[in-house]
Amino acid sequence: MSNNARFAEIAALAGDPGRASMLNGLMDGRALTASELAQLAGITAQTASSHLTKMTEAGLLQVEKQGRHRYHRLASPAVAQMIESIMRIAAPEVSVKAVRTGPRDAALRAGRTCYDHLAGHLGVSITDALIDAGHLELGIDAGEVTDSGLVLFDRAGIDVDVIAKRGRILCRPCLDWSERRPHLAGAIGAALCSHCFDNGWIRRIEGTRAVSVTPNGQRQLRETFGVSLS
């Protein structure tokens, strides 16, 4: 198959509403069953199954069989990045009189996971606080944790040395589609996200990839990282 045909094939896979919904649903890095994905996309199990087969064969997804369940997840961070980059083009301009499309959407804008790190107002706020304090440098395409940042993370109980050894880029920016500004991604972004979940600072809003900040989380984020969520 020619290179170009394969390009079109991959893009076309993401270009079906049903499949797009499923890919979106997997953007938080979780592995979901075929039924869950079917419901999420609003299609029958048969249709979903056919879609999932195609996407798996094309290398977009990975399946893990576990008893009578089949867990599907994005095949790699590269796939998540592809989805993000499409989302960035697809995200409507944030107009002055932007239509708020409902409470569910508002929650997503407030805070959500993006593959394995934090996004939305929450993610950008944390990122901004780290940059303002000189712990982080972040552009649209590249980023770096400063020495003071390394100290800070270490003090917070996030062992950067261990994380850095996993052969994954430590620190990279990810352009937020709702805020249209970069937030922290990469291994350190993922570690920070886990840390927030593990310590009960944030909690997932059932059935979505939106997250809410607990009162304790709000305090801890302010005290540890200087984050103020307006």
Partner DNA sequence: AGAATGCTTCGAAAACGATCGAAGTATCAA
Partner DNA sequence: TTGATACTTCGATCGTTTTCGAAGCATTCT
Residues that bind a second copy (CB under 8 A): 2-17, 19-21, 24, 59-60, 78-79, 81-82, 85-92, 101, 139-144, 169, 171-173, 185-186
Q: Which is nearer to DNA, 35 or 212 (CB)?
A: 35
Which among DNA, a second copy, none contacts residue 171 (Cβ within 5 to 8 A by kind)?
a second copy
Contacted entry of a second copy, DNA, none for residue 35, CB cut-off 5 to 8 Å set by kind: DNA
To DNA, the closest distance from the beta carbon of 205 in angstroms equals 22
Does residue number 57 form part of the binding site for DNA (CB under 7 A)?
A: no
Tell me: does residue 6 bind DNA (CB under 7 A). no
Q: Which is closer to a second copy, CB of 124 or CB of 213?
A: 124
Give 179-182's long-range contacts (Cβ < 8 A, gap of 24+): 179/109, 179/119, 179/120, 179/121, 179/123, 179/124, 180/91, 180/94, 181/124, 182/124, 182/127, 182/138, 182/139, 182/140, 182/143
Shortest Å distance, C-beta 175 to a second copy: 8
Which residue of 22, 23, 27, 48 would you call a contact of DNA, by CB under 7 A?
48
Could you give the CA distance from residue 183 to residue 139 in angstroms, rounded to a whole number?
A: 9
Tokens 């301009």 locate to: 93
Task: Report the distance separating Cα 152 and Cα 88, nearest Å.
Answer: 31
Query: Is residue 208 a contact point for DNA (CB under 7 A)?
Result: no
At closest approach, how far in Å is the CB of 47 from DNA? 4
| Shortest separation between residue 148's beta carbon and a second copy, angstroms | 18
- Tell me which of 7, 11, 45, 222 binds DNA, using CB under 7 A: 45
Residue 53 touches DNA, criterion: CB under 7 A: yes
Q: Which residues bind DNA (CB under 7 A)?
A: 12, 16-19, 33-36, 43-54, 63, 67-70
